[in-house]
Amino acid sequence: MTAAAPVSQELQSRLLGRIRDVPDHPKPGVTFKDITPLLADPAAFGALTDTLAELCLRHGATKVVGLEARGFILAAPAAVRAGLGFVPVRKAGKLPGATLGQAYDLEYGSAEIEIHAEDLDPGDRVMVIDDVLATGGTAEASLSLIRRAGAGVAGVAVLMELSFLDGRQRLERSLSGAPLEVLLTL
Ligand SMILES: O=P(O)(O)OC[C@H]1O[C@H](OP(=O)(O)OP(=O)(O)O)[C@H](O)[C@@H]1O
Ligand SMILES: Nc1ncnc2[nH]cnc12
């Protein structure tokens, strides 16, 4: 059973009204969900930040991981609002220190992400924040990195789930009981 969205219908409508569909981007056949109108609306962005921060605290997170690049924009202010440390998961080759890496496939390609393992402690419980859950490849790879770094998973929180791509099913095993919080199911 799908859990109820952790936001009111009013906030859902407000967020949805600020997400723009861009057909055939970045490839023919993909409808790109553009969040830049939402980011440009301080009331909507502020309400989203408050909601994500509250989810971090509700699920007992001690750190927040954001996924490059759009995940950074949502996760960093939520971490500050929640009073938690922020840890970036970056595309391969960007982080300067010793990294752990994980390759994965996503809706329109493949990539590799990395983390500075030293930024996580064994006692940490990490909330992963991103804008979109599509095939689930990116989120799944991030959970693998967090566990390989020796930390625990508090959950995954995304602004929107593209449910027709079945990312939830793909992620289920990696979550191993941790919550998946979705604000908008599309
Ligand atoms: O569930 P998946 O199929 O893995 O897709 C979701 C991921 O795709 C997008 O990131 P992208 O790699 O396009 O990076 P960007 O944020 O730098 O644009 C999005 O921000 C998610 O991280
Ligand atoms: N359709 C989509 N729109 C925006 N980001 C995405 N990441 C993966 N698929 C996406």
Q: What is the pLDDT of residues 158-172, one digit of tens each?
A: 999 999 999 999 999
pLDDT tops 80 at residue 104? yes
Residue 79 resides in a domain:
yes
Residue 1 resides in a domain:
no
Contact 61, 157 (CB under 8 A): no
What CATH number did the domain enclosing 166 receive? 3.40.50.2020
3-class SS of residue 137:
helix
Q: How far apart are CA 163 and CA 67, in angstroms?
A: 20
Overall domain count for the chain: 1
Residue 4 resides in a domain:
no
How many A from CA of 81 to the centre of ligand 1? 24
Residue 2 resides in a domain:
no
Is 54 one of the catalytic residues? no
Contact 11, 41 (CB under 8 A): no
What is the residue-averaged pLDDT of the chain? 96
pLDDT tops 60 at residue 146? yes
Is 70 one of the catalytic residues? yes
Residue 50 resides in a domain:
yes
**DSSP run (H or E) holding 142:** helix 137-148
pLDDT of residue 58: 98
Domain extent at residue 32: 9-185
Residue 1 confidence class, pLDDT cut points 50, 70, 90: very low
How many A from CA of 121 to the centre of ligand 2? 31
Residue 159 resides in a domain:
yes
pLDDT of residue 109: 85
Q: What is the pLDDT of residues 77-100, one digit of tens each?
A: 999 999 999 999 999 999 999 999
**Mean pLDDT within 121-137:** 97
Count Cα atoms within 13 angstroms, Cβ side, for 154.
23
ipTM above 0.95, yes or no: yes
Residue 118 resides in a domain:
yes
pLDDT of residue 3: 60
